[in-house]
């Protein structure tokens, strides 16, 4: 679910490819995402109860554990436990501002980042160290956005998107055209599983969006539909973090896929149904 947030890759890619604001994609999708969270919690509760019944009650000897050496931070020296309430309040304020759409998304993040850096790391050298520690990830995303803009600009400027959308329209039966938002949500599951997010959002989505525009479906509605399949995408062999997950859990990648895929599809369908019931994108567009 976290992959569908504005700071996750798919939403930023969809916004960049279709030239819409990321907050216009994310904020209306929040109720549907909450439906997905409820589905995940229900699945977790089901398996938790089943495992509890299977294992029974276990009593372990010597359960006094010293937690003082345990740290989940990659940079323990950078932690600021005394500022946890301030940082929590700042994060909450940022989330409220994001949902209310008070300012454009990048501006809100820059303001919150600046406040957090000044309060948590008043020393200029500490600020430089924190920025340097994460600069690689930031530069990679910035480079991706620039490359995406160039790629989609070439596709649009040369007329290739129009030509491909017309070819797609010729293939799609007339009766299915008004259902393109739902079709996009459904195909986003297998498409983002078998291909990278970059290929889908920068190569396929603009074509689908252009075709959908002929049936009165807006680009922002297509962008919302396109992120429905993200729970399935995270099971793709193209996602590096999944390999880390299975390695730490000590299980085989194939076993993880076989077990999780059906539940990931179920979560996607819960998100899709909730989005349709709430009118986040249309089931049928009558122009």
Q: What is the pTM of this model?
A: 0.69
Mean pLDDT of the chain: 82
Using DSSP's 3-state secondary structure scheme, residue 74 falls into coil
Percentage of the chain lying above the pLDDT 70 cut? 83
pLDDT of residue 154: 77
The CA distance from 3 to 230, in Å, is 7
Cβ neighbors of 116 (< 8 A, separation 6 or more) are: 87, 90
Separation CA 56–CA 272 (nearest Å): 37
Q: Is the dihedral of CA 122, 123, 124, 130 positive or negative?
A: negative
* Each residue's pLDDT tens digit, 181-211: 999 999 889 888 887 787 788 888 888 888 8
Q: Where are the domains of the chain?
A: 2-47+121-277
């Amino acid at each position: 679910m976290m992959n569908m947030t504005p700071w996750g890759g798919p939403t930023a890619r969809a916004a960049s490819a279709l030239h819409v604001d990321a907050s216009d994609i994310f904020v209306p999708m929040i109720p549907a995402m909450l439906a997905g969270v409820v589905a995940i919690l229900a699945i977790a509760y089901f398996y938790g109860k089943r495992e509890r019944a299977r294992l029974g009650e276990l009593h372990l000897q010597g359960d006094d554990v010293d937690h003082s050496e345990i740290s989940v931070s990659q940079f323990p020296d950078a932690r600021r436990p005394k500022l946890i309430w301030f940082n929590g309040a700042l994060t909450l304020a940022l989330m409220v501002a994001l949902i209310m759409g008070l300012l454009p998304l990048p501006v809100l993040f820059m303001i919150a980042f600046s406040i957090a850096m000044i309060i948590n790391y008043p020393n200029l050298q500490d600020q430089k160290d924190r920025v340097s520690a994460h600069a690689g990830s930031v530069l990679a995303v910035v480079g991706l956005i620039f490359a995406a803009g160039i790629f989609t600009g070439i596709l649009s400027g040369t007329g290739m998107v129009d030509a491909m959308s017309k070819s797609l329209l010729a293939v799609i039966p007339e009766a299915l055209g008004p259902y393109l938002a739902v079709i996009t949500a459904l195909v986003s599951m297998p498409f983002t599983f078998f291909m990278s997010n970059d290929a889908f959002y920068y190569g396929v989505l603009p074509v689908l969006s252009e075709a959908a525009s002929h049936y009165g479906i807006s680009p922002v509605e297509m962008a919302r539909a396109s992120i429905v399949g993200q729970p399935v995408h995270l099971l793709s062999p193209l996602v590096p973090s999944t390999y880390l997950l299975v390695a730490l859990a000590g299980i085989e990648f194939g076993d993880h896929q076989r077990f999780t895929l059906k539940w990931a599809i179920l979560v996607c369908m819960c998100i899709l149904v909730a989005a349709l019931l709430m009118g986040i994108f249309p089931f049928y567009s009558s122009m």
